[in-house]
């Protein structure tokens, strides 16, 4: 009778085995989908953490540079870039409510960016040092020779239009602000000399320099009050947000 009982019981065992196998397979597929979703979520969170870590590093560098400056400062964030063939400027999220003023020096953690040209209650416009209409009084850090660095209209590139052929200047020389003109205090790093080309028959050579501050990738900005400027009183109370007016935009 045993073979008969085995034969009779076989369909039931086969059905139970198939049911369990199908159930296990379904659970495995479901678990696989769940693990894939969790893995994707963790990857997205990791990207966010990496972005936060990068931002924290950048802000830490900005804070360190502010201590090196030794003058009063306030930080701001980039909210808009205005570019056209004649001018290049950026808009930041701070304005006259924080006592910013026209002509105020703007830096990042590496060097000089430009100066404020328009101030509104909630925003300000900064003309970059690479703007064709901008000129920065600089000096060669190695020799102390003073000259002018003009904007070229090209990202991260300045020209030095008033260097005579016998000027003591070399490729790799550091240019810093000279303090003349009263806009930028002395000693701010501006650019590195990258090109020196004699121009026969001309009074001045052709010279170019690359800005130390990477203007095309800047997001966080320092606005600095020079030691000669009166120190403004900044309110510690939070400022209630207001809708941007057309002028502020």
Alpha-carbon gap, residue 173 to 142, rounded angstroms = 7
Does residue 59 sit within a domain?
yes
Q: Identify the domain containing residue 103 by its residue range.
A: 71-130+218-225
Does residue 116 sit within a domain?
yes
pLDDT tens per residue across span 72-123: 778 888 998 887 766 778 999 999 999 999 999 998 878 899 999 999 999 9
What single DSSP character describes residue 213? S
DSSP string, 152-210: -SSTTEEE-TT-BTT----TT-EEEE--TTSSS-TT-EEEEEEEEE--TTSSB-EEEEE
The residue ranking higher by pLDDT, 231 or 1, is 1
Does residue 56 sit within a domain?
yes
Total domains, the chain = 3
Co-location of 49 and 12 in the same domain: yes
Alpha-carbon gap, residue 51 to 63, rounded angstroms = 18
pLDDT tens per residue across span 10-49: 677 676 666 666 666 777 778 887 787 777 666 656 655 6
Question: What stretch of H or E contains 81?
Answer: strand 72-84
Co-location of 9 and 39 in the same domain: yes
Co-location of 65 and 117 in the same domain: no
Cross-strand partners of 158: 151, 209
Co-location of 142 and 208 in the same domain: yes
Co-location of 97 and 57 in the same domain: no
pTM of full prediction above 0.75: no
Does residue 147 sit within a domain?
yes
CA atoms in the 13 A half-sphere facing the CB of 234: 14
Q: Which has the closest alpha carbon to 232: 93, 67, 94, 99?
A: 99
Alpha-carbon gap, residue 124 to 122, rounded angstroms = 7
Co-location of 12 and 81 in the same domain: no
- What residue spans of the chain are helical by DSSP H? 2-69
């Amino acid at each position: 009778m045993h073979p008969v009982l085995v034969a009779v019981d076989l369909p039931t065992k086969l059905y139970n085995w198939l049911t369990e196998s199908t159930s296990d397979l379904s659970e495995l597929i479901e678990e696989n989908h769940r693990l894939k979703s969790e893995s994707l979520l963790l990857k997205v969170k990791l990207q966010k953490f990496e972005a936060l870590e990068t931002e924290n590093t950048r802000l830490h560098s900005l804070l360190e540079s502010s201590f090196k400056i030794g003058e009063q400062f306030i930080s701001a964030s980039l909210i808009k870039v205005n570019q056209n063939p004649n001018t290049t400027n950026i808009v930041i999220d701070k304005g006259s409510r924080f006592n910013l003023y026209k002509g105020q020096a703007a830096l990042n953690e590496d060097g000089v960016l430009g100066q404020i040209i328009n101030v509104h209650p909630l925003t300000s416009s900064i003309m970059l040092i690479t703007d064709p209409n901008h000129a920065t009084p600089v000096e060669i850090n190695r020799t102390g020779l003073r000259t002018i660095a003009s904007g070229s209209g090209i990202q991260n590139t300045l020209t030095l239009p008033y260097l005579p052929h016998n000027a003591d200047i070399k490729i790799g020389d550091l240019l810093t602000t000279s303090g003349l003109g009263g806009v930028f205090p002395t000693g701010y790093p501006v650019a590195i000399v990258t090109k020196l080309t004699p121009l026969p028959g001309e009074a001045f050579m052709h010279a170019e320099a690359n800005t130390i501050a990477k203007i095309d990738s800047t997001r966080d900005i320092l606005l600095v009050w020079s030691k000669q400027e009166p120190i403004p009183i900044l309110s510690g109370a939070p400022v209630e947000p207001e809708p941007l007016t057309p002028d502020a935009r």
